[in-house]
Structure 1
Amino acid sequence: MDVRLVGDEGVEERPVEELKALLDHEDGLVWVDISSCDSEAVRVLSEVFGFHPMAVRDCVERNRVPKVHAYVDHVFVVLHAPERGKRGHVHFIELDQFIGRNYLVTVHGPINPAVEPGSALRETQAVLARLEAGRLHPATPFELSYAIVSALIRNQESYLETVTSDVWRLEQRVTGGQVGEPEEFLNELFRARHGLLAVRTMGALSGAIYGRMTNLTRISPAGQRLVVDIADQFDRFRSVADGEREYLQGVIEFYQTTLTIKAALVGQAQNAEVKRLTEASYAQNEEIKKISAWAAIFFAPTLVGTVYGMNFAHIPELGWAYGYPSALAVMVLASAALFAVFKRRGWL
């Protein structure tokens, strides 16, 4: 926990034991930055500041959406900044603020162990560096909060710029026909889309929070102007994120159309091959029918000739004067009858 006194001469580090006296001092601006809300931080928030137990609980637990609660003498705000994880995952880095009459308390919420701990302090460290360099001279807690939230918005914009560069790279691969494995490429497309949706949601919800704060009458006119400007920054960021999301959706639809056309062309080629094989099979069947028909036609005389070619002594027709002509007639008639049948059926 860092206790700082911000004045015209810059920023001074003070011990926690002096916090009560600093808060009672009317002229100073006190900034308390809590990197992790441990038991000591809970004690300070509850006993020294007297914050509502639900607000203190929100600092200890993880909040998945931004929120704002207005109390009699202060405003409690929860915001998120994006941090890129593995395989397109987006970590939500929480920043809680208690904006009072002469103090600002910033609490960095619980973060995923996979996230670098320094990422949670990114905005407050940037503002502290400006204070120490003499480039920032906030006179009120809202001015100090304005500087921190503006830094958070810049980090959101930086994240959006990173995702946008990925979108452009994916678009170039699609138009250049160098997508590689379709399944992996689709995963890359939807990981980029997830990143845009996540950061767009952060901006939209945060803008709604500050839009709500513009209606709080207990905020001074000077503070209201800063709140309105922050709300406008979030709204502008959301509009840019929406534009990039629509652009990526166009890339996805273009790629899906390309896949559909390729699938149709492959289907046409397959249909042509199936048609060719079907025609070849039909022609082969026709030839087999012809062969089978002629085999049957020649089978009839062969059968008669085979019977009378047997060397048995007691075949009745062997002694018949008209036996040979009759056998020939039977062969011819049987063959002619089979020919007529097959011809009528279209086999010949």
Structure 2
Amino acid sequence: MSKTTLIKYGHFKWIDIVKPDEESIKKLKKEYDFHELDLEDCLSENQRSKIDEYEDYLFIVLHFPHYDKRRKRIVTEEIDCFIGQDYIITLHEGQLKAIVEVVDQCQKNKTFLKENLEKGSGYFLYVIIRELFDDCFTLIDGMEKTIVEMENDLFEGDAEKDMVRDILWLKKDVIRFNLIIAPQRAVIAQLEHKNKKFLPPNLEVYFDDVVDKIEKIWSNLERLKEMTESLKDANEILISHQTNQVIKTLTVFSVVLLPLTVITGFYGMNVSLPKANHEWVVWGITLSMVGLVSGMLAFFKWKRWI
């Protein structure tokens, strides 16, 4: 069900719509002269990140990563923004914690409300975008912590094969994160060249700050990609080493048992053999086999094959 929050300061207002539906879009259409395609985009899923510039407003579509606790995966969350002379309208699904926190701050902290809304729609857009990108660093820190924990588990001797799926999912999350952030770089870079009525020149330094944040996020994601690759390679090496150890052990057993098989097979033939009827033959053969096995094992140990 759609939920609309109205926050006002002087002549400026922020309308935040969570889970927009056709009814809430109709109200926007009635109150504002937005293009029909923009309103349709607000109800569509998986829109591309973009900026559409009109005489009276800007329409911006941005995407941000969100950690889905139920699925335990990184997913894409969209936020649509209408920016006018004295208003900002945001539409999203309510999963972006940064937006929820900004709404909460505006409702509970009058100082925050005054400092951020009195400077106009362009500056408040910067505040929203800044908080959304700051939240990305929290996700990155969580993913890095997960990688470190998996590395510790890996080198402490836990079952390597059980980690393969987790490592691959983690690698997929990093790639998805990267794909989400990549288009935002171009969109944010375009903001300072858009309608100066909404984004005056003095805001360029603020949006440059956001661009710097995106570059840092990008750099951190590249580092996470390298860490997951290293983790994957280390896991494969340990699995290969473990497999080689098993094969080596089985080979030693096969080599040790081979002469014993020959001896027992020889004396198991249904023919007369010299000294076969003497009672000490069994003990002699047994001692010979024990000595042979002991000698072979000692030789393998000396060669460091076992």
Change (3 A) 1:95 1:166: same
Q: Which fold has the larger relative contact order, with Cα–Cα distance below 8 Å and residues 6 or more apart in sequence?
A: 2
The 1:190/1:126 distance shift into structure 2, 3 A limit, reads: farther
CA offset digits 1:87-129 (Å, max 9, x no partner): 53223332211122322111114x7xxxxx6858524425525
Supply the AA of the counterpart residue of 2:215.
Answer: D
Matches of residues 298-337 of structure 1 in structure 2 within 5 Å?
none
Alignment partner of 2:116 out of 123, 134, 137: 137
Q: Is the CA contact 1:203–1:235 (under 8 Å) kept in the aligned structure 2?
A: no
**CA distance in 1: counterparts of 2:144 and 2:46, whole angstroms:** 27
Partner residue in 2 for 1:33: 16
Give the CA RMSD over aligned residues: 2.9
- CA deviations 1:61-110 (Å, max 9, x no partner) are 2226533333333222222241332353223332211122322111114x
Query: Quick one: distance in 1 between partners of 2:203 and 2:108?
Result: 21
Shift of 1:140: 2.0
Tell me the amino acid that sits aligned with residue 194 of structure 1: K
Structure 2 counterparts to residues 51-62 of structure 1, below 5 A: 51-62=34-45
Q: Deviation of residue 260 (structure 1)?
A: 0.8
Mark the CA change 1:127 to 1:51 in structure 2 (over 3 Å): closer, same or farther: farther
Secondary structure of 2:6's match? strand
Is 1:146 aligned to residue 126 of structure 2?
A: yes
How many Å separate the matches in 1 of 2:266 and 2:190? 83
* Corresponding pairs, count: 266
Q: Matched residue of 1:137: which SS?
A: helix
SS, match of residue 86 in structure 1: coil
1:288 positional shift: 5.8
Match of 1:156 in 2: 136
Matched residue, 1:3: 6
Are residue 102 (structure 1) and residue 102 (structure 2) matched?
no
Q: Which residue of 2 aligns with 1:166?
A: 146
1:81–1:93 contact (8 Å) kept in structure 2: yes
Matching residue of 1:346: none
The counterpart of 2:244, out of the listed 264, 267, 285, is 264
Amino acid across the alignment from 1:186: V
Q: Which has the larger radius of gyration?
A: 1
Q: For 1:245-296, what per-residue CA distance to the aligned partner results, in whole angstroms no more than 9, with x for missing partners? A: 312321221121111111111112222222333443344455567x64879x
- Alpha-carbon distance in 2 for matches of 1:140, 1:49: 18
In 2, Cα distance between the equivalents of 1:237 and 1:119? Answer: 18
Q: Which moved more, 1:162-171 or 1:89-98?
A: 89-98
Fraction of identical pairs, as percent? 16
Q: Taking structure 1 as reference, are residues 118 and 240 closer, same or farther at Cα in structure 2, changes over 3 Å only?
A: closer
CA 1:262–1:184 in structure 2 vs 1: closer, same or farther (change >3 Å)? Answer: closer
TM-score scaled by length of structure 2: 0.74
- Larger deviation, residues 66-75 vs 51-60: 66-75
For residues 56 and 259 of structure 2, the distance between their equivalents in structure 1, rounded to whole angstroms, comes to 88
Q: For residues 96 and 131 of structure 1, what CA distance do their matches in structure 2 show?
A: 25
> C-alpha distance in 2, partners of 1:81/1:87?
14
Q: Deviations over 1:129-164 (max 9, x none)?
A: 576334623412111011111111122211222222
Gaps in structure 2 of 5+ consecutive residues: 275-306
The change in CA–CA distance for 1:275 and 1:65 in structure 2 (over 3 A counts) is farther
Q: Please give the alpha-carbon distance, in whole angstroms, between the structure 1 residues aligned to 2:226 and 2:51.
A: 30
Aligned to 1:228: 208
Letter in 2 for 1:263: T
Question: Within 5 A, what are the aligned runs for 1:208-219?
Answer: 208-216=186-194, 219=199
Q: 1:30 & 1:120 partners in 2: Cα distance?
A: 19
How many Å apart are 1:184 and its aligned residue? 3.1
Instruction: Give me the whole-angstrom Cα distance separating, in 1, the residues matched to 2:207 and 2:238.
Output: 47
In structure 2, distance between residues paired with 1:142 and 1:127: 19
Alignment partners' CA distance in 2, 1:142 and 1:189: 41
Note if 1:187 corresponds to 2:165: yes
